[in-house]
């Protein structure tokens, strides 16, 4: 996990430790680090920020040893995440019963599986969740949630294929209110072809549902595509928090950092397997210590 970005930082620290007092040579190494970070799925503007902050620390005399270098880099990364804030989804759900969660993301990123994982998490914490299949155009979308429903025992609300997704979501809210469900997890369309129809569809769902939290699901293995998807959905309807899937198989490592910086929104969970309990709260310090081990 995170092998590439870890190697980039280790290589930089090893090389820079012996030339800390030569700003010219250090600047050259920082430029190399920037390229290595971009190759590890760190968005260019994030790599630029890290480089600029590092040089500033050198100029201010804060870097006089290998340990200083390590500490400054860690602080830079932690501050990126701190600016994005943090959210406990369970607290959001407890404060807003019935809690309406809308899930966003393109097809193939593990969105329906993530919905089922979050539903299981909510049930384990005392909620009565209902999954809602509001992706009414993609063949198999409803069937996927039905399979998760059969495996987890958590009910799913469906509509007719081709029907208005916002209407399905609205009917689900009425159904949930009359049946005592206190958490709705609403799936939405994520056609790979991004067009104005999809944007209008998502905007209508959000307008009708009035969600308490909008969760974007991205696949870490798609690298820069995940970052562009984050930009798209945030610009289209806004994103409150992000789940990054397939983290357990992800070598590059830069996607969580890039998303936190670019969106200014927290990464709330990491998918680390296919099991329904393979959803970990994203821990900033664990992530930073993983890629910059002492």
Q: Is 222 one of the annotated binding-site residues?
A: no
- CATH value at residue 260: 3.40.50.300
64 is known to lie in a ligand binding site: no
What is the residue range of 56's domain? 3-84
Residue 107 labelled as part of a binding site: yes
- Is 246 annotated in a binding site? The answer is yes
Using a cut of 0.95, tell me whether the model's pTM lies above it.
no
Domain boundary among 84, 110, 125: 84
Question: Does 38 show up as a binding residue in the annotation?
Answer: no
d(Cα 1, Cα 4) in Å, to the nearest integer? 9
pLDDT at res. 193: 55
Q: Is 110 annotated as a binding residue?
A: yes
In this prediction, residue 191 carries a pLDDT of: 75
Residue finishing a domain among 27, 49, 84: 84
DSSP string, 60-111: TT---SHHHHHHHHHHHHHHHHHHH----HHHHHHHSSSEEEEEE--TTSSH
248 is in an annotated binding site: yes
pLDDT tens per residue, the chain (294 residues)?
799 999 999 999 998 887 766 778 888 899 999 999 999 999 999 999 999 999 999 888 888 888 999 999 999 999 999 999 999 999 999 999 999 999 999 988 999 999 999 999 999 999 999 999 998 877 677 899 999 999 999 999 998 877 899 999 999 999 999 999 999 999 998 876 567 788 889 999 999 999 999 999 999 999 999 999 999 999 999 999 999 999 999 999 999 999 999 999 999 999 999 999 999 999 999 999 999 988
Choose among 134, 194, 198, 125: nearest CA to 166. Answer: 134
Regarding beta strands 129-133 and 183-187, do their DSSP bridges make them parallel or antiparallel, or are they unpaired? parallel
Q: In this structure, are 8 and 38 located in the same domain?
A: yes
Are residues 194 and 271 located together in one domain of the fold? yes
User: Is 280 known as a binding-site position?
Assistant: no
Check whether residue 115 and residue 154 sit in a common domain.
yes
Any known ligand binding at 247? yes
190 among annotated binding-site residues: yes
Give the total number of structural domains in the chain: 2
Residues 102, 38 within the same domain: no
Whole-number pLDDT of residue 137: 79
Q: 189 labelled as ligand-binding?
A: yes
Q: Are residues 8 and 93 both part of a single domain?
A: no
Q: Quick one: 97 and 46 in the same domain?
A: no
85 is in an annotated binding site: no
Task: Kindly state whether residues 112 and 28 are assigned to the same domain.
Answer: no
Q: How far is CA 242 from CA 12, 37, 63, 215, 269, in A?
A: 30, 21, 34, 6, 7
Cis peptide before 115 (omega within 30 of 0): no
On whether 111 is known to bind a ligand per the annotation, the reply is yes
Are 32 and 126 within one domain? Answer: no
> Coil, strand, or helix at residue 269?
strand
**Distance, C-alpha 23 to centroid of its chain:** 36
What is residue 18's DSSP assignment? G
Domain boundary among 84, 100, 131: 84
What is the dihedral sign for C-alpha 202, 203, 207, 211? positive
CATH number at residue 27: 1.20.120
Query: Do both 143 and 75 map to the same domain?
Result: no
Q: Note whether 196 and 246 are same-domain residues.
A: yes
- 27 in the same domain as 167: no
166 and 230 belong to one structural domain? yes
């Amino acid at each position: 996990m995170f092998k590439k970005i870890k190697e980039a930082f280790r290589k930089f620290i090893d090389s820079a430790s012996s030339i800390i007092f030569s700003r010219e040579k250090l600047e050259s190494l920082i430029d190399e680090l920037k390229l290595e970070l971009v190759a590890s799925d760190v968005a260019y503007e994030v790599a630029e920020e890290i480089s600029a902050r590092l040089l500033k620390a050198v100029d201010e005399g804060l870097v006089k040893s290998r340990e200083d270098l390590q500490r400054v880099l860690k602080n830079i990364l932690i501050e990126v995440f701190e600016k994005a804030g943090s959210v406990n989804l369970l607290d959001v759900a407890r404060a807003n019963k019935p809690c309406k969660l809308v899930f966003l993301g393109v097809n193939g990123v593990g969105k329906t599986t993530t919905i089922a994982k979050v539903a299981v998490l909510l049930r384990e914490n005392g909620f009565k969740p209902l999954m809602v299949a509001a992706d009414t155009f993609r063949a198999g979308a409803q069937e996927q949630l039905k399979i998760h429903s059969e495996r987890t025992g958590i009910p799913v609300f469906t509509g007719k294929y081709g029907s208005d997704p916002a209407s399905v979501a609205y009917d689900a809210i009425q159904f949930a209110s009359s049946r005592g469900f206190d958490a709705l997890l609403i799936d939405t369309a994520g056609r790979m072809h991004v067009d104005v129809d999809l944007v209008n569809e998502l905007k209508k769902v959000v307008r009708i549902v009035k969600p308490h939290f909008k969760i974007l699901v991205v696949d870490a293995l798609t690298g820069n595509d995940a970052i562009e998807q984050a930009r798209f959905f945030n610009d289209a309807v806004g994103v409150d928090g992000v789940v990054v899937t397939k983290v357990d198989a992800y070598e590059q490592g830069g996607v969580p950092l890039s998303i936190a910086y670019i969106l200014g929104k927290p990464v709330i969970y990491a998918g680390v397997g296919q099991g329904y309990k393979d959803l970990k709260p994203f821990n900033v310090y664990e992530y930073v210590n993983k890629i910059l081990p002492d």
